[in-house]
Chains A and B, each alone.
Chain A
Amino acid sequence: MASTIIGAGITIEGEISTDEDVVVAGTVRGKLTAKEAVTIEHGATVEADVQGGSLVVGGSLTGNVTAVERVDLQSGSRVIGNLKAARVTIADGAQFKGNVDMDV
């Protein structure tokens, strides 16, 4: 139950900031800052730096990611950018190019 949803087909060019969960099924270009979970669904396109409590990517993401808890790249996702989070998982079948920075 996300409180902010970017529907499929909708494009937001600019900055999004929120205290709530965000689900992106459309396109976001710019910057995305959330305090809670961010979900980039399969078919969605995000060209933005993303900050969030956690991040799940099923779609396409270009940009640097900073998450407090975790980042999960699902199978079929395509991510170009650096990931910084306490935990990072990259599923088999995910495409990824970038640095991973975990709390070691």
Chain B
Amino acid sequence: MASNVTIIGKTTRVRGRVHGPGDLEVQGFVDGEIVVTGDVTVALHGMVGAGIRGRRVVVRGAVKGDLVGDEAVLLEDGARVVGDVHAPRVAIGPGALVRGYVETGEGGAAPARTARVQPAVRPAVAPAAVSHTPERAPAVVASKPAAAKAVEPPARAAPAAASNSGPRRPPPLVVPVLKGAKGQIAKKRER
């Protein structure tokens, strides 16, 4: 029955490290590093308080920590991520919120497997001109556009930025896991 799929259920809390081969779905809370060789899914109400590494990392919940995908990191509607994102392919869909450095490409995290064209590495501090665009374009699952979108200035996440767009949904609830993250971000920007 329970074969290679691991599910952390809605009311389950794990404090500690989760690692090994196989897929993992987090519907509850994991406060500890996740390192698996299969796919990781953080479900809509799932929360992870530390870094995640997997083949494909799909996030619809909250993560405070770095995301490393050997193949891809897909941040979908409902995702709230505070941390860096690194994968050959990164997609940030509409409705996903990210604060952190995002980089596509094979370097570092995933050893180069194919001779694919290396996506241009954008500087961490992108020009602030993006903020006037009222509505973001639909998700693009591709290296370059995703990267471009990903490095929108972090200021976008500030409450003030919400005023310029009419039909936007209200900002998401403050999740405990994201609290106190500002200091961490500031630290990262200094590098």
A residues at B contact (CB < 8 Å): 2-20, 22-23, 25-27, 30, 41
Residues of B within 8 A of A26 (CB): 6, 20, 22
Residues of B within 8 A of A11 (CB): 17-20
CB-contact partner of A4 in B1, B8, B32, under 8 A: B8
What's the Cα separation between A8 and B3 when bound, in Å?
A: 6
State whether A14 touches B7 (Cβ < 8 A): no
Q: What are 26 A-B residue pairs whose CB atoms fall within 8 Å in the complex?
A: A2-B2, A2-B7, A3-B11, A4-B8, A4-B9, A5-B5, A6-B2, A6-B6, A7-B2, A7-B23, A8-B3, A8-B22, A9-B20, A10-B21, A10-B36, A11-B19, A12-B14, A13-B17, A14-B16, A15-B13, A15-B14, A17-B12, A18-B12, A19-B12, A27-B20, A30-B16
What's the Cα separation between A20 and B132 when bound, in Å?
A: 47
Interface size class of B (residues with CB under 8 A): 20 to 34
Query: Which single residue of chain B is at the shortest CB-CB distance from A18?
Result: B12
State whether B12 touches A8 (Cβ < 8 A): no
Residues of A within 8 A of B19 (CB): 10-11, 13
State whether A16 touches B12 (Cβ < 8 A): yes
CB-contact partner of A15 in B3, B4, B5, B15, under 8 A: B15
State whether A8 touches B4 (Cβ < 8 A): yes
Residues of A within 8 A of B23 (CB): 7
Chain A binding surface SS class = strand
Residues of A within 8 A of B36 (CB): 10
Residues of B within 8 A of A41 (CB): 1-2
Query: Which single residue of chain A is at the shortest CB-CB distance from B35?
Result: A11
State whether B4 touches A9 (Cβ < 8 A): yes
Q: How far is the CB of A78 from chain B (nearest CB, A)?
A: 19
Residues of B within 8 A of A15 (CB): 13-16
State whether A17 touches B13 (Cβ < 8 A): yes
